């Protein structure tokens, strides 16, 4: 049974800047079912972090929500009270950040922090410590009882990220957001983290929104994938569909850049010639037009809508080429 | 937390391991010891006069001689430590805690409140402490409490500014963002997560500030504007000693040496503590 957990519906977000409004997100729509893992890929600056902070409503002060909704279990998070929002954070929705070296309080022991994060629970301190130790061993930290007494700087980067995952999953959330959790780590550690993440995710049946630069990890871990480019969704669908039969030139370029090695090698998104358009001053028509080798006159004239290509798999792409294809 | 005690022990061990820290700790320890047990250590009543034994040099009976009223200088020095700490500790720790609270509010609260508090701090800071003290003492008369209040008022801004700067930089740090993303309330963020990151710096600042306040109290008493005679303060000793320097140098030594020792002791202590309270700098166990 698929039950929708998170639904981003036509979300547009601006940043007010000295140069005018920077259109960081434009008409983003996708959804996440209960227990599903959805990946978001896209170059640096395409708006991944903006999207996450919009979901958690922890945006920069110059953020303006222009239109759209973020529905979590049917409730629009953009207009519930701050109090309600805070009670969702860390209990129903948890997050793991990119840089494990920065996400822990440097002057508190890991145990102290893991106790603190259970502040909503009415369990006794001994029970909470027990639970903390349990979570640490679940992410493969040996000798958790002793480790709880140590400070963050006494752990390696990989361990710290596993601790961050343990802390995020402590409350058994329905949704875990992971913002490039492995980008700061080397390849072997990355595999380890992904393994732990997957096994915990299966045990708890929580949905994961997994943001990454790394196509290989997305291919390995995710059920579905959303490809973002310059603040918009250009393609989304089943992982195998997207990687096997990409319908947007941008996705194709991402994959083509490193054909045989996607699984192991594509740690960083391959670079594509040309520049991302200025979000404060968007060109007319398709945003990928200037870097696209298949651009047509139509691409300059108007923005291609995100269109369903295959109903069954939910494959969607925003490119005029598909319209031509379907027409013929 | 189960290991908060072991953490304190660790800080003490860290200080003792450093020779400078050990010296500082010993000096600070003896001053505190003298202040607490002054009544037992002092061989004579520090205010008891003995006209027969005026201006005597050091002897077995009077290790630092006697003053113009025949009072035992050594006893007055010992009692003086009590006066010094009675002024310095409440003034410094009072200023530290008020400054900490105001600084964190300024750093984490809304912009207008920050501006308002900063204006207040800058105004307070623009009064030169000594001038301000003289004016207040002239208005309400000399007393221990007056000195404490004046010192507190003029040093709150220093602590508040440091606390504010720390709060501002912590506020944008990733682990605080992480805490917010995990649903921590403002009080939890300030109390549980920011406070332990700020308190160490302020404690070091406070330790270094104590000798300044001791010297200020001595200075005010020297000018006759501090504690009222016959209360034995180091500044009062210096004042008497200065007038009588031709007859006996022992009063100046008795008043001056403790001030210098206290300055060195608290500074060494503070400097070592600064290195030790930062867990990242602390040696691996
Ligand atoms: N507070 C802000 N004010 C103005 N512009 C911003 C602000 N935050 C982000 N931006 C801009 O919005 C765009 C999207 O930024 P965002 O951080 O969401 O990208 P990202 O996809 O997370 O990138 P990365 O992969 O590097 O983390 C970028 O062009 C960025 O420069
Ligand atoms: Mg980002």
Q: Which residues of chain B have a pLDDT value below 70? A: 1-7, 48, 53-58, 60-61, 70, 278-285
**Rounded CA separation A178/B206 (Å):** 42
- Please tell me the least confidently modeled range out of A122-136, A148-162, A269-283: A269-283
The per-residue pLDDT for A208 is 96
**Rounded CA separation A25/A268 (Å):** 22
Among the listed residues B257, B252, B256, B260, the one whose alpha carbon sits nearest the alpha carbon of residue B211: B260
Q: What are residue A93's DSSP bridge partners?
A: A89, A175
Domain boundaries, chain B: 75-266
CB contact under 8 A, A107 and B182: no
The per-residue pLDDT for A260 is 45
The per-residue pLDDT for A304 is 92
Query: Number of Cβ pairs closer than 8 Å across A and B?
Result: 75
Mind listing the pLDDT tens digit for each residue in A105-139?
Answer: 988 999 999 999 999 989 999 999 999 999 999 99
Pick from B181, B188, B284: which is nearest to A119 by CB? B188
State the pLDDT confidence band at A326, using cuts at 50, 70 and 90.
Answer: low
SS3 for A148-213 is: CCCCHHHCCHHHHHHHHHHHHHCCCCCEEEEECCCCCCCHHHHHHHHHHHHHHHHHHCCEEEEEEC
The per-residue pLDDT for A259 is 44
Residues with CB under 6 A from ligand 1: A 15, 17, 22, 24, 42, 44-50, 60, 62, 279
| CB crowding A218-234: b at 16 or more within 10 Å, else e | bbebbbbbbbbbbbbbb
The per-residue pLDDT for A255 is 83
Nearest chain A alpha carbon to B185: A86
Q: ipTM strictly over 0.90?
A: no
Q: What is the mean pLDDT of residues A225-230?
A: 94
Q: What is the mean pLDDT of residues A278-306?
A: 89
Q: Is the pLDDT of residue A35 over 60?
A: yes
Within 13 Å and on the Cβ side, how many CA atoms surround B172?
Answer: 7
Q: Which CATH superfamily is domain B75-266 in?
A: MetI-like (1.10.3720.10)
Instruction: Give the Cα-Cα-Cα angle B257, B261, B262 (nearest 5 degrees).
Output: 115
Average pLDDT of every residue of chain A: 88
Instruction: Let me know if B147 is exposed, middle or buried by CB neighbors in 10 A (0-12, 13-18, 19+).
Output: buried
More confident position, A119 or A274: A119
Mind listing the pLDDT tens digit for each residue in A73-112?
Answer: 999 999 999 999 999 999 999 999 988 888 999 889 999 9
Is B43 within 8 Å of B74 (Cβ atoms)? yes
CB contact under 8 A, A104 and B182: no
Give B173's contacts in chain A (Cβ within 8 Å). 102
CB contact under 8 A, A107 and B196: yes
Mind listing the pLDDT tens digit for each residue in A312-324?
Answer: 888 999 999 887 7
Q: What is the mean pLDDT of residues A271-284?
A: 81
Three-state DSSP state, A2: coil
Pick from A89, A106, A115: which is nearest to B280 by CB? A106
The per-residue pLDDT for A268 is 55
Among the listed residues B148, B168, B279, B280, the one whose alpha carbon sits nearest the alpha carbon of residue B214: B148
Q: What is the mean pLDDT of residues A297-303?
A: 89
DSSP-derived pairing of the beta strands A207-212 and A37-41: parallel
């Amino acid at each position: 049974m698929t039950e929708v957990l998170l639904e981003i519906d036509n979300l547009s977000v601006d940043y007010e800047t000295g140069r005018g409004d920077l259109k960081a997100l434009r008409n983003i729509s996708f959804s996440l079912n209960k227990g599903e893992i959805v990946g978001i890929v896209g170059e640096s600056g395409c708006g991944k972090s903006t999207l996450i902070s919009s979901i958690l409503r922890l945006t920069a002060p110059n953020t303006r929500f222009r239109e759209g909704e973020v529905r979590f279990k049917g409730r629009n998070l953009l207009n519930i009270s701050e109090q309600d929002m805070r009670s969702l954070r860390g209990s129903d929705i948890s997050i793991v950040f990119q840089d494990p070296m920065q996400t822990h309080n440097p002057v508190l022991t890991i145990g102290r922090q893991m106790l603190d994060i259970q502040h909503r629970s009415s369990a006794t301190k001994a029970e909470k410590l027990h639970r903390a130790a349990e979570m640490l061993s679940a992410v493969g930290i040996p000798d958790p009882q002793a480790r709880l007494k140590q400070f963050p700087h006494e752990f390696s980067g990989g361990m710290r990220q596993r601790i961050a995952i343990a802390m995020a999953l402590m409350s058994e959330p329905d949704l875990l957001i992971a913002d490039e959790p492995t980008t700061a780590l080397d390849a072997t550690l990355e595999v380890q983290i992904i393994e732990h993440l997957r096994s915990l995710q299966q045990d708890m049946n929580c949905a994961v929104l997994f943001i990454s630069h790394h196509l290989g990890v997305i291919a390995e871990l995710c059920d579905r994938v959303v490809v973002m480019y310059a603040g918009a969704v250009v393609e989304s669908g089943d992982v195998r569909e997207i990687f096997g039969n990409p319908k947007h030139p941008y996705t194709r370029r991402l994959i083509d850049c490193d054909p045989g090695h996607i699984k192991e090698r594509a740690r960083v998104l391959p670079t594509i010639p040309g520049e991302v358009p200025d979000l404060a001053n968007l060109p007319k028509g398709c945003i990928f037009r200037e870097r696209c080798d298949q651009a047509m006159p139509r691409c300059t004239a108007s923005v291609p809508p995100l269109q369903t290509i295959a109903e069954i798999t939910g494959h969607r792409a925003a490119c005029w080429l598909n319209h031509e294809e379907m027409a013929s | 937390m189960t290991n908060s005690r072991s953490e304190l022990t660790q800080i003490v061990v860290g200080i003792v391991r450093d020779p400078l820290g050990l010296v500082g700790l010993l000096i600070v320890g003896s001053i505190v010891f003298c202040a607490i047990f002054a009544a037992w250590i002092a061989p004579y009543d520090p205010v008891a006069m003995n006209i027969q034994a005026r201006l005597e040099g050091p002897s077995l009976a009077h290790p630092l001689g006697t003053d113009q009223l025949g009072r035992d200088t050594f006893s007055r020095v010992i009692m003086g430590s009590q006066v010094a700490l009675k002024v310095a500790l409440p003034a410094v720790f009072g200023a530290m805690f008020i400054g900490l609270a105001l600084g964190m509010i300024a750093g984490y609260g809304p912009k207008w409140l920050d501006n308002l508090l900063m204006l207040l701090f800058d105004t307070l800071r623009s009064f030169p402490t000594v001038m301000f003290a003289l004016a207040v003492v002239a208005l309400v008369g000399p007393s221990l409490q007056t000195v404490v209040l004046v010192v507190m008022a003029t040093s709150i801004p220093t602590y508040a500014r440091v606390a504010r700067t720390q709060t501002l930089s912590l506020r944008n740090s990733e682990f605080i963002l992480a805490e917010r993303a995990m649903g921590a309330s403002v009080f939890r963020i300030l109390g549980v997560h920011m406070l332990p990151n700020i308190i160490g710096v302020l404690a070091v600042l406070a330790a270094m500030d104590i000798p300044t306040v001791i010297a200020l109290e001595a200075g005010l008493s020297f000018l006759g504007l501090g504690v009222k005679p016959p209360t034995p303060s180091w500044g009062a000793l210096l004042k008497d000693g200065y007038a009588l320097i031709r007859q006996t140098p022992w009063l100046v030594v008795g008043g001056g040496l403790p001030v210098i020792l206290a300055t060195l002791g608290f500074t060494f202590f503070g400097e070592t503590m600064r290195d030790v309270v930062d867990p990242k700098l602390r040696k691996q166990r």
